[in-house]
Amino acid sequence: MFVDEGHRIHDVYQITKEQKGKIKAFLQGGVYCWCKNRKDEWFSLRDLMGGDNFHWQGTPLIELYEKHKDKEDSVKSAGIDAGWLLKAVISEDERRFETKTESLIRKYRWVDGSILE
């Protein structure tokens, strides 16, 4: 959940409910690992699923790329969908998170360590 209220969550279409559930569970795992190992550090989708982790083959995220693969900006479009799903995951999490936009990127930070400790 977010510390402050009023955050808009977009649904991601053209994937099945099962695919969406698997993607959200996968992202939740990434959030959990980040919060456990990098307390008090801001993170974004790029931190969790970009850089060395940008190859999505073999992960549920590949469905987002497959959805957009015929577009000129397929990687960007898949990343936008993944970002909305990450925001939904954070919103549904029972832990509390701060959020901010920095350089056009949505970032999050866990602010309550009571659940993971």
**What are the mean pLDDT values of the chain's consecutive 10-residue runs (117 residues total)?**
75 96 98 93 94 88 95 93 96 92 93 62
Looking at beta carbons, which pairs linking 101-109 to residues 24 or more positions away fall under 8 Å?
102/42, 105/44, 105/45, 105/46, 106/44, 106/45, 107/42, 107/43, 107/44, 108/31, 108/42, 108/43, 108/44, 109/40, 109/41, 109/42, 109/43
pLDDT value of residue 84? 95
pLDDT value of residue 116? 52
pLDDT value of residue 30? 96
